[in-house]
Amino acid sequence: MARTSYEANERVERRVQTSRKQVRVLQPLFHFISLARIAFRDMESSDSSNTVPVSYEPTKPAVSGNATLETLDEVNDSPIEEVRLTIPITDDPTLPCLTFRTWVLGIISCATLGFLNQFFGYRQNALSVTSVSAQILVLPLGKLMAASLPRKEIHIPGTKWSFSLNPGPFNLKEHCLITIFANTGSNSVYAVNIITIVKAFYHRQLNPVAAMLLTHSTQMLGYGWAGIFRKFLVDSPYMWWPVNLVQVSLFRALHEQIGSGINGLGVGSFAFDWATVAGFLGSPLATPGFAIINMLVGFVLVLYVVTPIAYWNNFYNAKRFPIISSHVFDASGAKYNISAILTEKTFEFNHQGYDNYSKVNLSIFFVLTYGISFATLAATVSHVALLVTER
């Protein structure tokens, strides 16, 4: 029982400490909205003609009649220098987007990355398979499908819709959409932690339908919030994602040219293995320098300054418990006896048992981790509010 609870809490602690996922949680939502917008426009264009759906071409802003090409480019360009240097403002509306290849490779990539990241997320040292892996692997698969599939037009019975298994060469837009599919499955669902804890920690079974509704409802909440704030998350040119610029550069290159950290404070615990470097906060190559410095300063302050001060000054009776631990403890410092506060038959909270036993106590590091995790949510709102006010 103790080992099971330890393993379950270790997984929870890793989730809490994985600030990268908290920061990137909006990124797949951005991708999903972009995909939905493209699909909707392509459906409209396919209804009005028998041609293969084409991508959306942004409307050019109104300028004077004697404006030059350079003036138009300047008007349409991004206010962010990194974006201007990476992403071209030109478009080829003749390239097909939502093709048979896009749906097949996209769904397979999404399902594969979703399974792999959830599976490897239970490791002590979690592994993360990013959408860059799918971005590289689907290129030869897409070209193979373009070279081998027939160009025959297939009609959907009972409708006027039709599609081609092979509308032409595998192009950049198909590649981008497949990677968007893959990216939506590259991050695990937070609600799965609830299911995992109930099964592994409390040894209870959940109805599969209830578990599915739980995970889907929490995911839909995120998509809904992303849609409500689309003006700030999608339409604003200032809402740019540095990690995506790396993938855009790779797209253009592929198509345009071919000490222990477990015990103590981990002082002296360093590793140069890339799985360790990028395992929790993502690739540092795609993160701006100021953000890396900000995270480094925060890490040093919390772990090596705030935590020792809080522990040796016995805040919240910190000396009664280990300085860093994912366990929960009773008032005496022993492992918390969960069975004393739960009714075995009904799995309900026993108020009298809780009052007679002890409050739940955490290690001081876990207390700070929880507190800072909640503070980041409020800080995100404050940051956006100040940024929007400034703009």
Q: Are strands 162-164 and 328-329 parallel, antiparallel or unpaired?
A: unpaired
pTM confidence score: 0.59
Question: Which residue ranges in the chain fall short of pLDDT 70?
Answer: 1-76, 257-273, 275-276, 389-391
Q: HSE-up of 347 (CA within 13 Å, CB side)?
A: 8
Phi first, then psi: what are they for 67, rounded to 5°? -70, 145
Contacts of 364-368 with CB under 8 Å at 24 or more apart are 364/307, 364/310, 364/311, 364/315, 364/316, 364/318, 364/321, 364/323, 365/303, 365/307, 365/323, 365/324, 365/325, 366/13, 366/16, 366/324, 366/325, 366/326, 367/316, 368/302, 368/306, 368/307, 368/310
Phi first, then psi: what are they for 361, rounded to 5°? -120, 145
> Which amino acid makes up residue 215?
T
pLDDT of residue 150: 92
What's the rounded Cα separation, in Å, for the pair 203 and 4?
Answer: 10
pLDDT of residue 310: 92
